[in-house]
Chains A and B, each alone.
Chain A
Amino acid sequence: MNGEPIIQLIEVHKTFGAQHVLKGINLSIYQGKTTVIVGESGQGKSSVIKHILGLVKPDSGKVLVYGKDINQISKKDLKEIRTNFGVLFQNAALFDSMTVFENVALPLRERTKKKEEEIRVIVDEKLKMMDLEGSNDKYPAQLSGGMRKRVGLARALVLNPKIVFFDEPTTGLDVAKSNDMYRVFFRTQSALGYTAVIVSHDVPKIFKLADYVTLMYQGVLQESLPPEDFQTSPNPVIRDFVEKTMGRIYDSEKVEG
């Protein structure tokens, strides 16, 4: 693949109550690439992201970000590592008592010493990038699902993070809004060049965004493959998933020798 991975999960196990959610996960994420984790609902895909973000600690195994095991470092170091992250949560996780502007401005106000005029310029620019001009004074409850996701993305990108996590970015959106979301993703990644980790079950559309695709099945991540290889993988678990979600894939090399 492309040099050293910036994020690595090594043999990560996690149990919630009686449920063994992650059963020895291994995953590598590479700089500037988009890795998509697919799988059916309830397989533990979002748990993988929460482990990388340091929101959940594994029962065993290592989560390395830029070579540091985030479960062995101090809170201060973890905070430092998190300054590289931007996260779009499944439900956007906007602060409901703040306006759109205040939501996007929050990381700038709390993490930088920028003046209010500078903050206004940056926030306006990010909202424009998301096609959200004129929504500054609205509250999250006054926005549609798609707009909320785009505000969440604007907030995630406002400090130009190096790695952006997307937890089900198109869940709950209709086809047109999902396509909008993908367009915004393309635009922002080309402009900002971030590494992306996407959890999704929007197959096959999500393959268009991916450099690597990996399947979460019964608490285990299958190998990480480029989308074309993923679709024609001989791995029976991946093949079952592909056939279930996309129908039978015709591979001329295999069929015709």
Chain B
Amino acid sequence: MFLLRLSEALGDHFLYYVNQAGRMGIFLLRVVYNILKLPYYKVSHITKQIYVIGTLSIFVVFFTGAFTGMVLALQGYNTLRKFGSEGLLGSAVALSLIRELGPVLTALMVTGRAGSAICAEIGIMRNSEQIDALECMAIDPHKYILAPKFMATVVSMPLLTAIFDVIGILGGYVIGVGLMGLNEGAYFSSMYKDVEFNDVYMGIIKSLCFGLIVVWVCSAKGYFVHMERKGGFGAEGVSRVTTSAVVLSSVAILVFDYFITSLLL
């Protein structure tokens, strides 16, 4: 009897998650179709979203980038000194940031700041029948609400990552050169010598993929809040689904980071 109930519960869970995965897949296809479909958008829809998702995230990305670069330089200098290779600090900081930490940390910051807001906004729209109202007005919510958010996030993420990388490198410079007394020329010349276009390319590809993951997971979670198993209604439902969107997209970013790295290396 116990085994029967256990297998029933497992089967039920399995079907729920397969159903959810399918729903999210169709959701993504529908948004992409609407992005490509004529008529195109009013520019103001996209610029507004770029401002909300991208511009308003600059502050947090700036600080995270600066302190990440600084701590990398601090740790890197002390480690490299053991091998007498302090001169490689510039390339160590730059490569770590451009290939790995820049895209990953920027995506995590955008998830926390903009992804959660996207999920909560869409979830509230769903619960207060605003999305139903759009459909009844023959306005497709995939085109009107979701497509501009998708485009804005995918455009903003590489730019924010670039800001993160540059600020991080400057943070490393402040610690390495300013505090530890490393030669300024050595810091930049090692970077110039070791950082190749492929590294930058990897960073851009990652940031584009992470941008898509963040906006996909967060907006789908909000859009389907009413179908949540634990009940997605009211403020509590939206709050629960927002937390789950942030957790799921953060984990997905780290998992996909591994797979993208292994593909591009």
Q: Indicate if B1 sits at the interface (CB-CB under 8 A).
A: no
Q: Complex formed: what's the CA distance from A90 to B130 in Å?
A: 11
List, in ascending order, chain A residues with CB within 8 A of B136's CB. Answer: 53, 55, 82, 85, 87
- Interface-forming stretch among A106-114, A170-178, A200-208, A243-251? A106-114
Beta-carbon contact of A89 and B132 below 8 Å: yes
B138 touches A83 (CB 8 A): yes
Is A79 in contact with chain B by the CB < 8 A criterion?
Answer: yes
Asked whether, in the complex, the Cβ of B132 is within 8 Å of the Cβ of A79, the reply is no
Interface residues of A, dominant DSSP: mixed
Closest to B132 in A: A55
Task: Identify A111's interface contact among B132, B133, B138, CB under 8 A.
Answer: B138
Knowing A53-B136, A82-B137, A83-B138 are in contact, say whether A110-B129 is a contact too (CB < 8 A): no
B interface, over-half SS: helix
B12 close to chain A: CB less than 8 A:
no
| A contact residues around B130 at 8 Å (CB) | 93-96
A91 interface contact, C-beta 8 A:
yes
Residues from 121 to 151 in B contacting A, C-beta threshold 8 Å: 124-125, 128-130, 132-133, 135-140, 144
B residues within 8 A CB of A54?
Answer: 135
Q: Min CB distance, A143 to chain B, in Å?
A: 15
Instruction: Find out whether the CB atom of B137 lies under 8 angstroms from the CB atom of A107.
Output: yes
Contact of B133 among A50, A79, A80, A89 (CB under 8 A): A89
Contact assessment for A107 and B139 in the assembled complex, using a CB-CB cutoff below 8 Å: yes
Q: For residue B139, which residue of chain A has the nearest CB?
A: A110
Q: With A and B bound together, what is the CA distance between A87 and B129 in angstroms?
A: 11
Provided the pairs A93-B128, A96-B128, A110-B144 are in contact, do residues A87 and B138 lie with their beta carbons within 8 angstroms?
no
Which of A57-90 touch B at CB < 8 Å? 79-80, 82-83, 85, 87, 89-90
Q: Which of chain B's residues have a CB closer than 8 A to the CB of A111?
A: 137-139
Query: Of residues B128, B129, B137, which shows the largest number of chain A Cβ atoms within 10 Å of its Cβ?
Result: B137
B124 cross-chain contacts in A, Cβ below 8 A:
96
- In the complex, what distance in Å separates the CA atom of A31 from the CA atom of B139? 25
Q: B135 to chain A: which residues have CB within 8 Å? A: 53-55, 82
CB distance from A103 to the nearest CB of B (A): 10
Give A49's nearest chain B residue, CB to CB: B136
CA distance A107 to B128 in the complex (A): 18
CB distance from A151 to the nearest CB of B (A): 12
Question: With the chains together, A87 CA to B130 CA distance in Å?
Answer: 11
* Distance (whole angstroms) from the CB of B240 to the closest CB of chain A: 19
Whole-angstrom distance between the alpha carbons of A204 and B135 in the complex? 32
Interface readout for B105-130 with A: 1 if CB under 8 Å, 0 if not? 00000000000000000001100111
Residues 88 to 126 of chain A near chain B (Cβ within 8 Å): 89-91, 93-96, 106-107, 110-111
Question: What's the Cα separation between A93 and B139 when bound, in Å?
Answer: 14
Residue of A with least CB distance to B140: A79
Min distance, Cβ A7 to any Cβ of chain B, angstroms:
14
Find out whether the CB atom of B137 lies under 8 angstroms from the CB atom of A106: yes
Contacts of B140 in A (CB 8 A): 79
- Contacts of B137 on A, CB cut-off 8 Å? 82, 87, 106-107, 110-111, 155
Provide 17 A-B residue pairs closer than 8 Å at the C-beta atoms, listed in order of the A residue. A50-B132, A53-B132, A53-B135, A79-B138, A80-B138, A82-B136, A89-B129, A89-B132, A91-B129, A93-B130, A94-B130, A95-B125, A95-B130, A95-B133, A110-B144, A111-B138, A155-B137
Task: Other than A89-B129, A96-B130, A106-B137, give 5 A-B pairs with Cβ distance below 8 A.
Answer: A53-B135, A53-B136, A87-B136, A93-B130, A111-B138
Closest 7 pairs between A and B when the two form their complex, measured CB to CB: A93-B129, A93-B133, A82-B138, A87-B136, A79-B138, A83-B138, A110-B139
